[in-house]
Homo-oligomer: A and B are copies of this chain.
Amino acid sequence: MKISGTFLDEISHDIPHQNWGEKEWDNDFAHMKAMGIDTVILIRAGYRDYLTYPSAYLIDQKGCFKPPKDLVQLFLDLSSKHGMRFYFGTYDSGVYWDTGDMQQEVDINLFLIEEAFGKYGQHPSFAGWYLSLELSRKTKGAIEAISGLGKHCKQISDGLPVLISPWIDGKKAVNSKTHLLEKMEAVSLQQHEQEWDEIFSGIRDHIDVVAFQDGQVEIGELEDYLTLNKALADKHGLKSWTNSESFDRDMPIKFLPIKFEKLLLKLEAAKRAGCEKAITFEFSHFMSPQSAYPQAGHLYNRYKEHFNTL
């Protein structure tokens, strides 16, 4: 089970920015390609006041900052150059996190999806949508939000695929900005099944792919969750990918590249569970030879050694 997709984390939320320019991004896409990556997924079009592209709507009407560089255009052009499929990630206004108001989050994104598709939808590498709302079982209003946004994405884009990447509410599902690594109350496999069966029922018509994050449960328990996720996805006619995180959730420094052995164990579990594709969060900080974290380059080498792609 090789990794063939990666998120592009260029609206820094909790991973410090690398301050790359065009040249570094071009090199990075080449490194990705050499490792077997064919799909890149923008983690989000913007986060609060910061944007990846100069959205007239968000700048003029919401007071966001005009970004110094149009990264969506850059990523689309590099996708064409390096033979990648690009998924556009929606905007995160922060309103839901601050107030619990999901409707406003949805309304903003319904508008943004149109603007973005108008601007970039005809680019030959524009291949799908990623709904950046990282829902879990307790996310109020998530079913309606995901359905509504997914439906809108598919309608205006003639059915381009829609991806979500939820988290399992396992014991490592803790806020990255606390010092904690684990919490006491984690979801059980049974609860997870019941809740996600319900969620999938509600969103199945407007979503194509579900790629659960694989880092919130212990590696020894992961295969059970992946197998269950695959069965649920099959039942509801969805594709099941794995989002195999390449950063380490077990260390005091939040976050540095994962130990190769852990990544390999997770990919092997995904293979046994029958996942259709593995993507990762994310290549450029945690697996790239030019990452600011040199452990990432060594991870890249170990990965390529293992899969004989050196």
Contact = CB atoms under 8 A, between A and B. Distances in A.
A16 B68 contact: no
B16 A248 contact: yes
A68 to B, nearest CB: 5
Contact of A292 (B220, B264, B294, B306): B294
A294 to B, nearest CB: 4
B301 A21 contact: yes
Contacts of A21: 298, 301-302, 305
A178 B179 contact: yes
Given A179-B178, A179-B179, A260 B19 contact: yes
Among A20, A67, A251, the one with the most B-chain Cβ atoms within 10 Å of its Cβ is A251
A115 B172 CA distance: 34
Interface residues on A, range: 35 or more
Contact of A298 (B18, B181, B248, B295): B18
Nearest to A178: B179
Given A261-B50, A261-B67, A261-B68, A251 B14 contact: yes
Contacts of A306: 68
A140 interface: no
Nearest to A50: B261
Interface string A253-281: 11111111100110000000000000000
A143 B306 CA distance: 44
Q: Lowest 6 A-B CB distances belong to which pairs?
A: A19-B298, A17-B259, A179-B179, A16-B256, A292-B294, A252-B254
